[in-house]
Amino acid sequence: MVSFLKTVIKAIPVGLSVTFKNIFRKPTTLEYPEVKPDLSPQYRGLHYLARYDNGEERCVCCGLCAAACPADCIYMEPYENERGERKARIYIINEIRCIFCGYCEEACPEEAIFLGKEFEFSKYEIPDFIYSKEMLLGNFDRIEMERRKKLGMEFIRKTRFDFRMPTPSIGDSESSIEK
């Protein structure tokens, strides 16, 4: 009994020293959802299917995103519209199977699919995690509206991955291009 009391008496100052050492420090806990966490620039969240400036969807249903996906969570079926352009009739992403690697984003030649910064997309039912083409386009429309409101502009063109080389105009001569 005496050894137990000695152990307790020695342990109390150690515990209180830890308490007093940390009592005046800034707390490390974030009061979520009032305070949002700072995300890394490389963070990959919710999927979006992008549109062109005229409102037409960018996806040409080439299937490269589905082929690049290691989790096999992308399913698509193509069709040809009235102008003979290939588009996606069905485009589905199963967010439960997705590992958010970003390979679909890298493989897309049209820059149609990308992963945004949104991380709050919890649901109550499993079927709600299967995103159809309309839902993915709706995600893009929603972030475009938020971006327009935030910047106060009437129209914003998506140039997130615009790394193309400038093309010379028709009037340029060969000598001016070589310079």
Each residue's pLDDT tens digit, 96-143:
999 999 999 999 999 999 999 888 888 999 999 999 999 999 999 998
Spatial contact of 64 and 156, defined as CB atoms under 8 Å apart: no
What's the pLDDT tens digit per position in 17-66? 888 888 888 887 888 888 888 888 889 999 999 999 888 999 999 999 99
Q: For the chain, which residues make up each domain, given as ranges?
A: 47-151
What global pTM score does this model have?
A: 0.67
Tell me which residue of 20, 5, 2, 112 sits closest to 65, measured CA to CA. 112
CATH architecture of residue range(s) 47-151: 2-Layer Sandwich (3.30)
pLDDT for res 1: 79
